[in-house]
Amino acid sequence: MKLVVQEFLTLDGVSQGPGSPDEDTSDGFTRGGWFVPYVDGEFMEIAEDWLGRADGLLFGRRTYENFARDWPTMTDHPFAPIMNGLPKYVATQSLAEADWSPTTILAGNIAAEVDALKQQPGRELQIHGSARLAQSLLAAGLVDELRLAIAPVVVGRGRRLFPDGGTPAGLHLISQRTTAGGLSVHVFETAGMPAYGVYGG
């Protein structure tokens, strides 16, 4: 399977709490819900297409617990049958059991276990959110594709997908699109280490 990271970002790179003010208030974050004003029918079609390619979902503990709380009750949402039915994997050293079936807990060497999942037949293993997990797997060279939906907003603080001191990564742009609601959607494939040069050289 191909490992794909799907993230919602602000223009200043924040990925924390896109869906509501109380989604993720860790570290005192009070500016959640910044993505919602820009979601329209066009983006929902894009998201539906992406989700339709998944044969498994991979989460960090925090995102998993939020999704496991919400998705089983969202029976009228068009994505609910897929989200609830797909095999799910959660990378955690602290979660002893998982109630959102079918879920497998990955508690050993996460990079090695994810690499083993990638060797299984299938289309895509998708990370939705879970920025810290995405960062670690990008650093380990396991991410094949990044799908970034960037909202035209600056929130000024919050957890970023690409923090200072992160591992460098080269990317190749596959596609880009702007929705009527103002989202800028970029799809990249990973391309090893970045290339550097001298302007005018």
pTM above threshold 0.85: yes
Q: Do you know the residue count of the chain?
A: 201
**Confidence band, pLDDT 50/70/90 cuts, at residue 95:** confident
**Confidence band, pLDDT 50/70/90 cuts, at residue 96:** confident
Does a structural domain hold residue 166? Answer: no
* Distance (Å) of CA 2 to CA 38, 127, 146: 28, 11, 11
**Is residue 85's pLDDT more than 70?**
yes
Q: Which residue has the tokens 């297409």?
A: 49
- The amino acid at 91: A
What's the total number of domains in the chain? Answer: 1
Does a structural domain hold residue 74? Answer: yes
CATH code of 146's domain = 3.40.430.10
Does a structural domain hold residue 35? Answer: yes
pLDDT at 119: 97
Does a structural domain hold residue 173? Answer: no
The pLDDT > 90 percentage for the chain reads 89
| 3, 12 contact by CB (below 8 A) | no
User: What 3-state class would DSSP assign to 63?
Assistant: helix
Does a structural domain hold residue 102? Answer: yes
Does a structural domain hold residue 83? Answer: yes
Q: Give backbone dihedrals phi and psi of 7, rounded to 5 degrees, phi first.
A: -135, 145
* pLDDT tens-place string over residues 161-184: 999 998 999 999 999 999 999 999
Q: Which domain holds residue 146?
A: 2-159
Does a structural domain hold residue 30? Answer: yes
**Is residue 201's pLDDT more than 80?**
no
Please report, for the chain, how many H helices and E strands are present, in that order: 5, 8
Q: How large is the average pLDDT for residues 51-68?
A: 95
Does a structural domain hold residue 9? Answer: yes
* pLDDT tens-place string over residues 106-155: 998 999 999 999 999 999 999 999 999 999 999 999 999 999 999 999 99
